[in-house]
Amino acid sequence: MSRKKIALIGGGQIGGVLAQLIALKELADIVLFDIVEDMPQGKTLDIAEASRVDGFDVSLSGTNDYKDMAGSDLVIITAGLPRKPGMSRDDLLTTNAKIMKQVAEGVGENAPNAFVIVISNPLDAMVTLFQKVSGIPHHKVMGQAGVLDSSRFSTFIAWELGLSVKDVNAMVLGGHGDTMVPLVRYANVNGVPVTELLELKYEGDKEKAKEVMDAMVQRTKVAGGEVVKLLKTGSAFYSPASSAVAMAESILKDQKRLLPTCAFCEGQYGLDGFYLGVPAVLGANGVEKVIELSLDETEKSMLENSVNAVKNVVGDMERLGF
């Protein structure tokens, strides 16, 4: 069986970690593309030179030419500016939309059969634009946000309960912004509801348990900003890269994992013709199915709020002529 090929568009902070993780997992051969001359060549050379130490057999190359992505099975896009302290993801709209348009033309022309995972922000708008310009079918084009938002939520839950994060399952739906919807009701540790574990911890004090849960939900919503504030010169890069690799692996190995994905909705959650963070099955056909969970009234209204926020950014983008 020949090896798979992944093209990474954007060789910055996330792009570099993506290349290293994919190599370590021997998931695919890697082509790292950037507009900056020599930099992607330097990064891939550096990673390749660790192959003996880490023991991986994949080929890594850097390029400034879109043609080198021909034949890619999957493309991950991180081209674009990251946030600086005080900026929202939406503040990146104009700059990153210009970049995304170019990228979508390049990918659409040179790797039209690839699956595509977009990471660039503002995520929901960038996925929408990429799909429109590239013409690659909706089920093959998706965005990474929910896997990371859910991992952040799970991490906070594990820290709070003093339990292994490996057993925590928590999902975040909606847009990749401050209106995202961490699903408290479904959060569990090996099947045991987190709400119940919190009440045990706080000896039946329901109010305290709710207060602690609310604080974790709030921290999850602004977790990206928390990292930006500390880094000062850019945004999170290790965790977004890990999250996109989990999605790529599920597709390339046909694992059929149920992952929160920025996927195209066709009637689900009352949305038609619209990208949003929803639980989706990722396998050999890309987004194979969007799962429609039953939501209570509060969750529904939070999701509606998130949908409106996403619609606003996408609308702004269209008004800007993209």
Task: Write down the least CB distance from residue 234 to ligand APR, Å.
Answer: 5
Sign of CA dihedral 125, 130, 136, 141: negative
Residue with Cβ nearer ligand APR (85 or 273): 85
The C-alpha atoms of residue 267 and residue 168 are separated, in whole angstroms, by 30
Residue nearest ligand APR by beta-carbon distance: 12
CB closer to ligand APR, 145 vs 157: 145
The per-residue DSSP string of 246-314 comes to HHHHHHHTT--EEEEEEEEEESGGG-EEEEEEEEEEEETTEEEEE------HHHHHHHHHHHHHHHHHH
Q: State which residue, 102 or 305, has the beta carbon closest to ligand APR.
A: 102
Q: In which region does residue 287 sit, left (phi positive, over 0), alpha (psi from -120 to 50) or beta (all else)?
A: beta
- Known active-site residue 176: yes
Complex with ligand APR: residue 13 or 41, whichever CB lies closer: 13
CA angle 159–84–11, rounded 5-degree value: 90
Residues that bind ligand APR (CB under 6 A): 9-15, 34-36, 78-83, 92, 96, 99, 102-103, 119-121, 234-235, 237, 240
> Which one from 83, 89, 152, 176 is the annotated catalytic residue?
176
Nearest to 79 by CA among 56, 96, 66, 92: 96
Residue 5 CB contacts under 8 Å (≥ 6 apart), including other chains = 28, 29, 30, 31, 71, 72, 73, 74
Q: For residue 89, what are its two tokens? A: 């993801």
Of residues 247, 285, 300, 209, the one with CA closest to residue 123: 247
143 versus 182: smaller Cβ distance to ligand APR: 143
In the complex, what is the shortest distance from the CB of residue 223 to ligand APR, in angstroms, rounded to a whole number? 13
CB of 40 to ligand APR, least distance (A): 8
> Is the Cβ of residue 65 or residue 205 nearer to ligand APR in the bound state?
65
d(CA 115, CA 111): 9
Q: Catalytic site residues?
A: 176
